[in-house]
Amino acid sequence: MSEIGLQWRPLQPFGIELDCDLSAPLGRQQADRFIELLWAHGLILARGQGISMARQRELCALAGPILIRTGESGYLSTQSGVAASLSELRWHSDAAYTDAPFDLIALHAVDVVDGASSTCFMNAADALMSLPPELRHRIEGKQVEMISPSYDSIALRSCDRRDPVAQKRGVQPTLYRNPHTGRDCIWVNELQAARILGMEWEESRDLLHAIFDHIYQSAHVLEHRWRNGDVIFWDNIALQHMRGPLDDCGKRVLQRVIVGTEGVAPHIQP
């Protein structure tokens, strides 16, 4: 499709791929449409880009305030020397355990081995719509203890431990209304959901397993294999994301920008 100078095509099962040079200025109508497309589709992929950190921030600022967290460089690298930076990272939405989850995240591949690593995305609103009625009935109206797990546990499901170690804890609803779209999203995930309140631990664990088995089916997942120049913008409330282990992917440097109002400790130490 082509609209006011923006050419795009749908991805499956969600998201769009945008065909334009993002280093060039966007007109006012183009900028407004860019954000409309982002909220409507949850994810925008653009290939072959070469945008600076400053330009990436300019684009993200169209959606809200840029969040710069103390101690972070803005780059995720497999060469940081931190073991957690190579670990698998289970399904989650950033800062979902807080009252101010991040609105938008953008990653730009500035130095990667083409095709050697990926990030996977799942649409939490679509997943909720497809959830079997008996599962939805069991979690609707419930609250869940959400955590920021310790760095040595980011490859594990938090619900599998009776009392998981946490850097931060919070209580959130199991279903969350996305302010960008008005759609309800399933708000439990593998990394951060420790326990559904009001249930014995075993019952909560088994229910979460049943939910995860459904929402993380391959039919619900978009996997993107990174190539140099790729940039992805996504709605952090609408989508959950994860990545596999990075031990054998070679050099992987992603330039990251966050849109949000409150800073919390990152899962991956800089």
Find the mean pLDDT for residues 49-57. 97
Under 8 Å between Cβ of 119 and 141: no
Residues in the chain, total? 270
Q: Is the dihedral of CA 175, 94, 263, 261 positive or negative?
A: negative
Question: Around 216, how many Cα atoms within 13 Å sit in the side-chain half-sphere?
Answer: 18
Q: Which residues pair with 81 in a beta bridge?
A: none
In tens, the pLDDT along 184-241 reads 999 999 999 999 999 999 999 999 999 999 999 999 999 999 999 999 999 999 999 9
Question: 201 to each of 162, 173, 209, how far by Cα in Å?
Answer: 7, 17, 12
Residue-level pLDDT at 269: 40
3-state secondary structure of 249: coil
Which strand (E) or helix (H) includes residue 61?
A: none
Mean pLDDT of the residues in the chain = 94
Strands 2-3 and 6-10: antiparallel
Q: What confidence tens digit (pLDDT) does each residue in 71-97 have?
A: 677 999 998 878 889 999 999 999 999
SS3 string, 10-53, reads ECCCCCEEEECCCCCCCCHHHHHHHHHHHHHHCEEEECCCCCCH
Average pLDDT over residues 3-9: 87
Q: Using an 8 Å Cβ cutoff, are 161 and 97 in contact?
A: no
pLDDT of 267 > 50? The answer is no
Q: How far is CA 89 from the centre of its chain?
A: 11
169's tokens: 């804890």
Q: Cα separation of 206 and 240, whole Å?
A: 21
Determine the Cα–Cα distance for residues 44 and 180; give it in Å rounded to an integer: 15
Under 8 Å between Cβ of 46 and 20: yes
Indicate the pLDDT class of residue 141, thresholds 50, 70 and 90: very high
pLDDT digit string (tens) for 112-127? 999 999 999 999 999 9
Q: How many Cα atoms are found within 13 Å in the side-chain-facing hemisphere of 201? A: 8
- Residue 250, by phi and psi: left (phi above 0), alpha (psi -120 to 50) or beta? left
Partners of 16 in the β-ladder: 10, 44
Q: Is the pLDDT of residue 263 over 70?
A: no
Report whether pLDDT(268) > 70.
Answer: no
